[in-house]
Amino acid sequence: MPGEKILIIDDESNIVELIKYNLEMNGYKILYAFDGNEGLKIAKDEKPDLILLDVMLPGIDGFEMCKLIKKDKEIEQIPIIMLTAKGEEFDKILGLELGADDYITKPFSVRELLARIKAILRRNKKEESTKVLKFDNLVIDFDKHEVLKSGNKVDLTLKEFELLKILILNKGKVLTRDFLLDKIWGYEYYGETRTVDVHVRHLRQKIEDDDKNPRYIETIRGIGYKFKE
């Protein structure tokens, strides 16, 4: 919603001005920096709601910046959209694997940038409002990355936890295997949907009382999976 703080880190002043003007016109409060060191300091001091981070920065580049932000406990939760003039698959994969939430390639339309910003802020608010959820004998704590089953801690891998989380946040909706691949693994596996099936099977073995007759994660034949409401 309007009033949220967005930090722009980009060394091109004309790009900063363009984004700043359009975001302020839409009610956002704007902070900006022209290099990584200054951007990191502002991020720690101001705790913005979202960071727009250019890849090609003087000194610390955007990839290294992303890594530093995601390693810092104070600011690791701030969502990041990478801005890049590069369109190669390598850059997309690297940015998302380092923890970026999305990326947009220059030149971009302001409308597309606004749409992506709104989507990520909306998703972030949804996640914040559902930090601890209970389903019968399951308790999921998103902040602690912890799952309890009948009071006992369930050991999940990072990908298993992310898979469970995205299914829960979209409970009742059918999520395709391709969607889950893209969102959790950060890039397309070009049809290797078996990756999702294997992780769902392992997840069911850990959280279901009977993984052959699951009460939580339902298979929608030929499409994907959904978390039952």
Would you call 84 exposed, middle or buried from its count of C-beta atoms within 10 A (0-12, 13-18, 19+)?
Answer: buried
What share of the chain has pLDDT > 70, as a percent? 90
Cβ neighbors of 73 (< 8 A, separation 6 or more) are none
Contact predicate 29/4, CB 8 Å: yes
pLDDT of residue 130: 61
DSSP three-state, residue 110:
helix
Residue type, 179: F
Q: In order of start, what are the domains of the chain with their CATH numbers?
A: 5-128 (3.40.50.2300), 132-227 (1.10.10.10)
Does an H or E element contain 124, and which?
Answer: helix 110-128
pLDDT tens track for 117-170: 999 988 877 666 567 888 888 999 887 889 999 999 999 998 899 999 999 988
How far is CA 132 from each of CA 6, 30, 39, 112, 227, rounded to the nearest angstrom? 27, 31, 32, 32, 16
pLDDT digits (tens, 9 = 90+) for 59-118: 888 889 998 998 888 898 899 998 887 665 656 677 677 788 888 888 888 999 999 999
